[in-house]
Amino acid sequence: MTARLYVSAQEVAERAGVSRSAVSRTFTPGASVSPETRRRVMEAADALGYQVNHLARGLMRNESGIVCLIVSEVATPYRSALLSILTQKLQNAGKVAMLVNTDRSDGSVDRALKQAIRYRADASIIMSGLPDKSITQLCLKNGQRLVLINRDDDQPGPLRINLDDHEAASRVVTAFVRAGCRRLAFANSQAGTPSLMAREHGFVHAARRLGLDVVVERYGWTGYEAGQVLAQRLLTHQDRPDAVFCATDLLACGFMDTARRQFSLSIPDQLCVAGFDDIEQAAWTSYDLTTFAQPVEAIATEAVRWLEDRSLHEERRIQLHADLVWRGSIRGG
Partner DNA sequence: TTGTAAGCGTTATCAG
Partner DNA sequence: CTGATAACGCTTACAA
The 3-state DSSP class for residue 30 equals: coil
Residue 183 within binding range of a copy of itself, rule CB under 8 A: no
- Distance between CA 242 and CA 196 in Å, rounded? 22
Which of 43, 46, 47, 61: binder of DNA (CB under 7 A)?
Answer: 61
Site for a copy of itself in 1-40 (CB under 8 A): 1, 5-7
Of 50 and 219, the one with the shorter C-beta distance to DNA is 50
Q: What are phi and psi of 12, to 5 degrees?
A: -65, -45
Which of 1, 3, 60, 75: binder of DNA (CB under 7 A)?
Answer: 60
DSSP string for residues in 207-271:
HHHTT--EEEEE-SSSSHHHHHHHHHHHHTSSS--SEEEESSHHHHHHHHHHHHHTT---TTTT-
Which of 14, 19, 37, 114: binder of a copy of itself (CB under 8 A)?
Answer: 114
Q: How far is CA 69 from its chain centroid?
A: 9
- 268 upstream amide cis, omega within 30 of 0: yes
Q: Which does 280 bind (CB under 5 to 8 A by kind): DNA, a copy of itself, none?
A: a copy of itself
Residue 318: its H or E element: strand 316-320
Site for a copy of itself in 69-108 (CB under 8 A): 69, 73-77, 79-81, 83-84, 87-88, 91, 96-101
- Distance between CA 41 and CA 26 in Å, rounded? 7
Of 119 and 224, the one with the shorter C-beta distance to DNA is 119
Q: What binding mask, one character per residue, do residues 251-290 give for a copy of itself by CB under 8 A, x or -?
A: --xx--xx--x------------------xx--xxxx---
Q: Which neighbouring-strand residues pair with 72?
A: 102
Residue 70: its H or E element: strand 66-72
* CA angle, 281 then 213 then 165, to 5°: 45
Which of 28, 119, 156, 298: binder of a copy of itself (CB under 8 A)?
Answer: 119
Of 33 and 161, the one with the shorter C-beta distance to DNA is 33
Which of 42, 48, 52, 216: binder of DNA (CB under 7 A)?
Answer: 52
- Distance between CA 327 and CA 283 in Å, rounded? 8
Residue 177 within binding range of DNA, rule CB under 7 A: no
Residue 123 within binding range of a copy of itself, rule CB under 8 A: no
Of 194 and 328, the one with the shorter C-beta distance to a copy of itself is 328
Q: Which residues bind a copy of itself (CB under 8 A)?
A: 1, 5-7, 49, 51-56, 58-59, 62, 64, 66, 69, 73-77, 79-81, 83-84, 87-88, 91, 96-101, 114-115, 117-120, 138, 141-143, 224, 253-254, 257-258, 261, 280-281, 284-287, 313
